[in-house]
């Protein structure tokens, strides 16, 4: 019986820790090498587009992140994707101190989904 209780506790702790994992950074990074068309089909039209030197374009998406374990509410997050002339994402990054997304976000918004 003691082993059963230990197993249940381990399963509960493991499932809770997965819910607290931040998937925002890995989701943004997953788009490197993908097409701009596929990005727009998942994320929608960018909030802003900027022409960069050398002919590349920067797609900018603004959103709000919320980290449930810090209790301090939402934060502005900006995901940026640099698109080359062949319409391929060559760089991706995000800005924001508390950008947080759960596994559901990663499942629906990553390039791998």
44-100 pLDDT, tens digit per residue, is 999 999 999 999 999 999 986 555 555 555 567 899 999 999 999 999 999 887 787
Predicted TM-score (pTM) of the model is: 0.75
Please answer whether residues 99 and 36 qualify as being in contact, where contact means their C-beta atoms are separated by less than 8 angstroms.
no
Core vs surface per residue 56-93: b (16+ CB within 10 A) or e: ebebebebebebeeeeeeebebebbbbbeeeeebeebe
Provide the CATH number for the domain formed by 22-109 in this structure.
3.30.1450
**What is the rounded CA–CA span in Å between residue 56 and residue 2?**
61
């Amino acid at each position: 019986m003691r082993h059963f209780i230990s197993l249940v506790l381990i399963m509960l702790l493991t499932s809770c820790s997965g819910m607290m994992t931040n998937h925002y950074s890995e989701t943004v990074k997953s788009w490197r090498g993908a097409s701009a068309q596929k990005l727009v089909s998942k994320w929608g039209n960018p909030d802003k587009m900027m022409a960069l030197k050398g002919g590349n374009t920067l797609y900018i998406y603004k959103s709000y992140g919320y980290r449930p374990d810090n209790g301090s509410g939402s934060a502005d997050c900006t995901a940026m994707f640099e698109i080359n002339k062949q319409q391929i994402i060559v760089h991706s990054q995000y800005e924001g101190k508390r950008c947080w997304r759960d596994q559901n976000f990663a499942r629906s918004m990553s390039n791998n989904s």
